[in-house]
């Protein structure tokens, strides 16, 4: 897939895809729990994907079309950095690499009726992407095994002056 924006002297590691000012790794080798996916991304000096604009959401939809199913199932979901594990109903983007978080504000793409806190059981505290038609967000049990997307800033190389 061609990146949306190329920047001079900017690059991503092999296997990662560049879009705007980020690099993305679609991890489909084996599904992980949300916590393990977050840890995996941190080992790559990255975090689970934080979706802040409709443009970024659309890019990710195109990136994941080959693996996202038409249905809303855990087998076709992809973990993102969203979580309300700290306080029920207060959704934050969790950056497991930098150990920071920020409230989810502005752009949102929740599936109708979501987040629903596990039908009132308050046991769905992690966000995933579901369904390729609308590529919407849903809360899910963090212990569920899913594929995921890591995100990190692009790297810039400086020109050698000689």
Return the C-alpha torsion angle 131, 28, 20, 159, nearest 10.
-170
CATH superfamily, with its number, for domain 11-156 = Mannose-Binding Protein A, subunit A (3.10.100.10)
What is the pLDDT at residue 68?
65
Q: For the chain, what are the domain ranges?
A: 11-156
How does pLDDT run across 72-97, given as a tens digit for each residue?
555 678 999 999 999 999 999 999 88
- The string of DSSP codes covering 46-87 is -EE----SHHHHHHHHHHHTTT--SS--GGG-EEEEEE-SSS
What is the pLDDT at residue 31?
94
What is the pLDDT at residue 133?
61
**pLDDT averaged over 10-residue windows placed end to end, the chain, 162 residues:** 58 93 94 97 97 94 75 70 93 93 95 80 87 81 94 79 52
């Amino acid at each position: 897939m061609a990146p949306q924006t190329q920047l001079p002297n900017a690059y991503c590691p092999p296997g990662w895809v560049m879009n705007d000012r980020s690099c993305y790794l679609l991890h489909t080798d084996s599904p992980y729990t949300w916590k393990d996916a977050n840890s995996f991304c941190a080992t790559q000096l990255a975090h689970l994907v934080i979706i802040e604009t409709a443009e970024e959401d659309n890019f990710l939809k195109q990136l994941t079309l080959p693996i996202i199913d038409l249905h809303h199932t855990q087998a076709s979901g992809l973990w993102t950095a969203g979580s309300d594990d700290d306080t029920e109903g207060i959704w934050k983007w969790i950056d497991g690499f930098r150990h920071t978080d920020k409230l989810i504000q502005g752009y949102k793409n929740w599936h109708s009726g979501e987040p629903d806190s596990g039908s009132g059981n308050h046991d769905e505290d992690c966000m995933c992407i579901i369904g390729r038609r609308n590529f919407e967000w849903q809360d899910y049990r963090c212990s569920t095994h899913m594929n995921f997307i890591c995100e990190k800033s692009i790297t810039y190389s400086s020109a050698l002056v000689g």
